[in-house]
Structure 1
Amino acid sequence: MPISPNQGSSGGGTLVTITGTNLTGTSAVRFGTRSATNVTNVSPTTVTAVSPSGSGSVGVTVTTPGGTSNPIPFYYVGAPFKQTLSPTSGSTAGGTTVTITGTGFSSATSVAFGANTVAPTVVSDSQLTAVAPAGAAGSVGVSVTTAGGTNNGLSYTYVAVPTVTSVVPDEGPVSGGTSVTVTGTGLTSTSQVTFDGNPAPFTVISDTALSAVTPPGAAGLVDVVVTNDAGSATATDAFTYLAGPGI
């Protein structure tokens, strides 16, 4: 006599389906010593019921006018507990693999990023991974659903790939040291600014502007690249290094 699902929340409330024979006239379904609710005799071979609260492993029995069945195992599962999420941000296009650690993940069936849900990969009872779906820029709550229930409390930030619209001033000496303002979009989470591949110190002013100081470089036009958690934007030939006079 199988039961499906064979596990559920320790708080109760799991709708289970029990199949077997001679189930007509079922008067009670018990999980251990506790009675189930909403017992429905669907057919002579099927009964549904809602589990009461409980813990650990219990035997489920069905009682009919003919007697009480042998017990079949049902496992109570506690609600999941999340501790960490890494990385905590990624592209609005989705595709970032996120690792979540905590407890009670063995029966995880879904991970929600805001309103969007994905199927996780369970690594162990204390760890799972999920590929973030696409989402709008900003922070969303992350929740994990298992047979024991749903838990949330962590957040994930969607970041748009940056754009660069201008670099002002657009020229300076090869010795570096020119203070420039880079404008564009998605600049809040900027992690690096380079001139011809050389990192430049920078300060984020807003999501649409940052200031940077040019590093030394070779004379000529160079690309300016801004990188954030979602990707990079290249402003081709956006800055000109000027050679000093010679006499």
Structure 2
Amino acid sequence: MAPTVSTVSPSQGPTSGGNTVTITGVGLTGATAVRFGTTPAASYTVNSSTQITAVAPARSAGSAPVTVVSPTGTSNPVAYTFIAAVLPSVTAVSPSGGPTSGGTTAALAGTGLTGATAVTFDGTPALSFTVNSATLITAVTPAGKAGAAVVAVTTPGGQSAASPSAYFFYAAPPRLHSATATAGPTAGGFTVTLTGSNLLNASAVLFGPDTAAYTVVSDTQINVTVPAGTGTAPITVITPGGTSNPLPFAYLPAPALTALVPAGGPTSSGTVITLTGTALATTTAVRFAMSAVPFTVVSDTQITATAPSGPAGPVSVTVTTQGGTSTGLAYTRVTEPAV
């Protein structure tokens, strides 16, 4: 009895041939030939009485029924279609960049992507990929070195060619080295300069979870306007290369003065005054009106300062810290009696 063929898998392949086709059926033992139309298979192996693996020959596009020949006769035909090879192309990569650590899911747009067997980034296989359609593949980038990596897709029709639109740009991770301020008032609004490396193309600067307005000056410098906030708020920068290491930053309450002891003195300089209040630990200046005077921070609630000379009458005393400037308390100078 002649052999019987039930399935041919895959049921199509390139006109260049060379792909392996699995033929299933019955009575396949002793096969003396496998034909694709009138063209013999490039080679074949009889695995069992129910299975043969054959290498498809080269043949012009179109349908070519597969048959198995044995001493008992020729099998029924099962359709196989030769398809003209289409060279794949990649016309866009989105996003076009990501960190050197890999893990970015990129959409590859193009043509002839059906049947893709490999996706590579500068020769390194993608961590995974999915053929969504003949015009779209989604792939997860492998780790790579900083710079441009050509994206290539391989199908039975061949490998896509490099083109300006078929690149993925690996970015080195950003790194922060220093900030010109590590603390400031809760109201924000002042400028801090960040220095580091790989800061170009920054997409966000964060103080804790809060975004800040910023200007990228260079690959090593960013100027940022501190947003309002409270508590601790580590500074980080986000770029295509990832998220930077954090730099410490703390929001400080504004200082408050509650008492001056003594609250007055002579018009001459030299009187030592004790200022009491709250949030005084980071004091940077004590002023009598516009005049800055020597001072000593005793604690977060106490400062000693030396009053300057000045005309008789009240003068406003203020304290400035990293949290801002306090409201003023009056210190009254009295003219010393003449002798």
TM-score by length of 2: 0.67
Query: TM-score with structure 1 length normalisation?
Result: 0.90
CA spacing shift, 1:50–1:234, aligned 2, 3 Å: same
Q: Which runs of 5+ in 1 are unaligned?
A: none
> How much identity, in percent, do the aligned residues show?
44
Could you give the per-residue CA deviations for residues 132-154 of structure 1, whole angstroms, max 9, x where no partner exists?
222214x4322222211222142
TM superposition shift of 1:193? 0.8
Please tell me whether residue 227 in structure 1 is matched to residue 317 in structure 2: no
Q: Tell me the secondary structure at the aligned position of residue 249 of structure 2.
A: strand
Tell me, yes or no, if structure 1 residue 58 matches structure 2 residue 149.
yes
Q: Any idea what the Cα deviations from partners look like across 1:27-71, whole Å, max 9, x if unmatched?
A: 321101111123123343222111111113221012234332223
Matched, 1:195 2:288: yes
In the alignment, is the contact (CA less than 8 A) between 1:164 and 1:235 conserved in 2?
Answer: yes
Spell out the pairing of 1:99-178 with structure 2 (5 A cutoff): 99-118=193-212, 120-137=214-231, 139-178=232-271
- Is 1:210 matched up with 2:300? no
CA contact (8 A) 2:216 2:222 kept: yes
Aligned to 2:6: none
Where does the alignment leave 5 or more consecutive residues of structure 2 unmatched?
Answer: 1-90
Structure 1 residues 152, 190: CA separation in 2 closer, same or farther (over 3 Å shift)? Answer: same
Which position in structure 1 is the counterpart of 2:51? none
The amino acid across from 2:107 in the alignment is: T
Q: Number of residues paired by the alignment? A: 245
Structure 2 counterpart of 1:70, one-letter code? A
| Contact residue 235 and residue 246 of structure 2 kept, 8 A | yes
Q: Point out the structure with max Rg over C-alpha.
A: 2
- Structure 2: distance between partners of 1:181 and 1:225: 13
How far residue 198 of structure 1 moved from its aligned partner, in angstroms, is 2.1
1:44-100, Cα deviation, whole Å (9 max, x unpaired): 322211111111322101223433222312222111222221133322112222211
* Larger RCO (alpha carbons 8 Å, 6+ apart): 1
The code of the aligned residue for 1:105 comes to L
Note if contact 1:141-1:152 (Cα within 8 Å) is conserved in structure 2. no
CA RMSD of aligned residues (A): 2.0
Deviation at 1:119, TM superposition (A): 5.3
Q: Closer, same or farther in 2 for the Cα pair 1:127/1:200, shift >3 Å?
A: same
Shift of 1:192: 1.0
Q: Does the aligned pair in 1 maintain the 2:230–2:250 contact within 8 Å? A: no
Q: Secondary structure at the match of 1:47?
A: strand
Question: What CA distance in whole angstroms lies between the structure 2 residues aligned with 1:239 and 1:20?
Answer: 78
Secondary structure of 1:155's counterpart equals coil
Give the letter aligned to residue 60 of structure 1: V
Q: Does 1:21 align with 2:115?
A: no
Q: Is the 8 A contact 2:255 2:319 kept in 1?
A: yes
